[in-house]
């Protein structure tokens, strides 16, 4: 496994691989790898001749009061896990190598970023699409893998790729959960034992929505209410949003659409922000 920090070198390496006709499978991450990331890497290993992993905590997707400086990092552990997962190249640039002082070009998806996290994190998705576009340009992947735990991000990247004709196939991978149902996230490390137990209300509530739909309930307000009620059982959990949107456009729905309805939730537990979702 080779670790590359220079954008010029990763671009030169990728172009050489493409000239040899090798398929590049790419997994972009902010590091602090957990089993969810490893699942993406395993899928990439099955799909490509060469697997490229990026590890970069992207400053442009963090707001001024968010946790950029405190975001968990452990490069030594990440590299060990990446090697075990069969990664061929790790691209781990510095912020200054990707964002020069004179940087002023950003890429933005409009409608799909207005709801859910986009409503509460202005500029977040502009940072996401800009860095992913830069990584696609440098690495030239044939296939890229994204986790559906960040479903809005997955939908936004698909829209960007479709609108701008990127020659990249985007694969979404289902959320990987702990045995008790908690969606895996790098930010889970912030939770103490009591907070982690309280966080299970998210997966419990989403599961109850799924059960209700299978039982014939289709009223969106009542279905959303099921999740809200479950969360409110935990006094330490503060709701930021609970919404039902179209899974492709991320626009609000007036009625339930089978297989197209994304129930999404964001909460704060202490200072830790967690998200979860389910397509029903």
- Listed residue (247, 257, 236) closest to 116, CA to CA: 247
Say how many C-beta atoms besides its own lie within 10 A of residue 117's C-beta: 22
Clarify whether 124 is annotated catalytic: no
Give the residue extent of every domain in the chain.
2-173, 191-279
Residue whose tokens read 């452990």: 74
Tell me the C-alpha to C-alpha distance, in Å, between residue 99 and each of 103, 105, 131, 179. 6, 10, 10, 39
Residue whose tokens read 């009625």: 255
Of the residues 36, 37, 168, 185, only one is catalytic, namely 37
Give the CATH superfamily of 2-173.
Answer: HUPs (3.40.50.620)
Q: What is the pLDDT along the chain (280 residues), one digit of tens a residue?
A: 999 999 999 999 999 999 999 999 999 999 999 999 999 999 999 999 999 999 999 999 999 889 999 999 999 999 999 999 999 999 999 999 999 999 999 999 999 999 999 999 999 999 999 999 999 999 999 999 999 999 999 999 999 999 999 999 999 999 999 999 999 999 999 999 999 999 999 999 999 999 999 999 999 999 999 999 999 999 999 999 999 999 999 999 999 999 999 999 999 999 999 999 999 9
For domain 191-279, the CATH class is: alpha beta
Q: Is 24 helix (H, G, I), strand (E, B) or coil?
A: strand
């Amino acid at each position: 496994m080779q670790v590359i920090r220079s954008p010029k070198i990763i671009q030169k390496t990728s172009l050489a691989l493409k000239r040899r006709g090798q398929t590049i499978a790419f997994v972009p991450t902010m590091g602090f790898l957990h089993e969810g990331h490893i699942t993406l890497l395993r899928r990439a290993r099955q799909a490509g001749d060469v697997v490229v992993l990026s590890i970069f905590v992207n400053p442009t997707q963090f707001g001024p009061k968010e946790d950029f400086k405190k975001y968990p990092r452990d490069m030594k552990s990440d590299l060990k896990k990446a090697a075990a997962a069969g990664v061929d190249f790790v691209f781990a640039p510095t912020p200054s190598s990707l964002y020069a002082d004179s940087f002023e070009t950003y890429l933005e998806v409009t409608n799909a970023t207005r709801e859910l996290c986009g409503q509460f994190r202005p500029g977040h998705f502009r940072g996401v699409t800009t860095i992913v576009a830069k990584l696609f340009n440098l690495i030239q992947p044939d296939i890229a893998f994204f986790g559906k735990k960040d479903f809005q991000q997955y939908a936004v990247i698909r829209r960007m790729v479709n609108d701008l004709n990127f020659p990249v196939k985007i694969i979404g991978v289902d959320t990987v959960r702990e045995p008790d149902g908690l969606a895996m996230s790098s930010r889970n490390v912030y939770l103490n034992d009591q907070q982690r137990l309280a966080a299970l209300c998210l997966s419990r509530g989403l599961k109850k929505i799924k059960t209700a739909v299978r039982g014939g309930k289709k009223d969106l307000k009542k279905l959303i209410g099921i999740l809200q009620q479950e969360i409110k059982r935990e006094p330490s959990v503060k709701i930021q949003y609970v919404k039902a949107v179209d899974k492709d456009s991320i626009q609000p729905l007036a009625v339930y659409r089978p297989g197209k309805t994304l129930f999404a939730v964001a909460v704060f537990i202490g200072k830790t922000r967690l998200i979860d979702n389910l397509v029903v």
